Structure 1
Amino acid sequence: MREFFKNLISSPSNIILSLFWILLLSIVLPPFIQWAVLDAVFVADSSAQCSRDAACWAFIYARFDDFIFGRYPDPERWRVVIGLLLPVILFLGTFVTASKYKIKYALSCLFICPIVSFIFFYGGIFSLEIVDTRLWGGLFLTIVIASSSIAFALPIGIILALGRRSSYPVISILSITFIEVSRSIPMITVLFVASIMFPFFVPEGVEVDKLLRTIIAVTLFAGAYMAEVIRGGLQAVPKGQYEASTAMGHGYWQVFGLVILPQALKISIPGIVNLFIGFFKDTTLVLVIGLFDLLNMVSTTTADPEWFGYAIEGYIFVGFVFFVFCFSMGTYSKKLEKKLSDKINK
């Protein structure tokens, strides 16, 4: 902390910048605190109890369930809670269990949890009522799209990165083509193709769920970017590591699976997490194809005559939620990177 304050006055330019920010904050913060906290209404039965001159957080309180679950049926929302908590519990288990169980917890979280969670979300078996994906929405839908796309984009990115470096021309050309084409197209175009144009290319009578098409499109799109991040990590691994592993008699998959990839992924952690954060925020683009994610739910509820005119509070809430998720991912990645560096140094 002392070093921080020392840097604020370490040079004439830093002194000027520090004074500028102090002046700016002194102008902006007092009226904002007055609007957002001191004069704000936090609990109210209706918007009539709110003032237009102050924040009405009662709007968030009144529509909180809609922001979290979307149009998911009220009596079935316990399934969403269980389906979301299950991977979180298994993920936290990797911190408190012995080392030999950490991989099992991680693999369960990656491969088993999505299947079990989808059963809870969608239903259809074990006496669970079917809830169509058109009713999924809110933060719940944002988490489903982001987590599914991110989880499957990582292995796809690894495969594409290895394919791009392959000595077989066909594999290399196909990987390069897919990566470069995907990186040259805006994500919103990919979503339009998956949602609107894809049905024209399938046989009549064949229907693929819109949410599934969206997840596949985002996953493939993210996988192309992930491939380039991982390729950078592979190139950063010293050539001697390849030679030493080959000299020990390891085959191709042993060289990459046991020696090269662990080092490359450790090097790539900052870039991977940066992509995770970017694509988590980009999930808001699904509103253009009619999926009611968190941002779209807030936009929709602000059109309610009962709460018309309180969009600012809703968008501040969305920004706060995204900040919490993105900040948490960034903080965890720094701790993971430091932990892996300490292990390698030992």
Structure 2
Amino acid sequence: MKDTIQHRDGIRLTLSNDTEIVFDGDAPGDVTVLSHAHGDHLLNNSARAVTSELTAALSNVRQSEQTLTTTTHPTVELFRAGHIAGSRAARVTDPQTGRTYLYTGDCTTRSRLYIEGFTPVKADVLIMETTYGKPAYRFPPIAESLEQIHTWLEETMDTVVILFGYALGRAQKIQHILSHSPRSRVFITDAIDQLNGIISSHRDLSFDARLYDADVELREGDALVLPMSTGRISWIESLVERTGAITAGFSGWAIDDSFIYQRGVDKGFVLSDHCDFDELVGLVESVDPEMVYTTHGFTETFAQYLTKHHGYDVRALKQNQSTLTEF
């Protein structure tokens, strides 16, 4: 049997011996691989997965109704993906043909703060995320972004700042940045605190933020870190009005001027856990595969660019299509 790659519930790779590898999905298969613990990748019906110990622990906190345990499989190797703490890329080797498949999951080749960037490994077939797979998404150097953030934090010491980022990944990086700022009182929510604890127990990291509740009176110079999804909730709007707080969002999408209006924040800073466009191109060149499959984000745009400008054979994976018969 020839190998196939499908986008069903997650990405399904069927090897030449009929072994089915499922990446970041609950579709039935022989092996399940979980790249990281963000909500859009978590497993609902799987009890075992090839994943990092940290990702399994984070998954169990975020999905308390089930317990995920780690396992291994002789066809699967894991590599640090550089996305968030615990994230992994996976390379699968077909035991009959020796053909190799690299699944990046969400990844970043750029090192930043306490996260080491993904070092691409060689593979015959590359299955890659393309969240920012459009030429407009070229990020400034991380040192430049951090300098802008630190300068702003110092210039706004006379007021409260409310900082928005994903509860897992971005929120911890924002806390890390704040620990090197003049702001001595940093507050977080229970959800972020719980994730902090899991990460600290697996990594040589500590977070000194305090829990925020209704009894806390925010004052000049304080910082409150909240999940991005809470930005337009009424109690946040009331808090801003009561304290005169300035709000800021942290994301790769902040490269767009429209970011602050779409997110409803006063300031936007480029701080991403994904590769930008040039880093995606560099990743492909480093892996140098025979075939590339794109998934998530600007899949068609990036596929067309790689084919036209770099000569790669590229297909954009689409939901419920098979790479052998349905393109």
What TM-score does the superposition give when structure 2 sets the normalisation length?
0.27
Give the number of the structure whose alpha-carbon radius of gyration is greater. Answer: 1
- Report the structure, 1 or 2, having the larger strand content: 2
What TM-score does the superposition give when structure 1 sets the normalisation length?
0.26
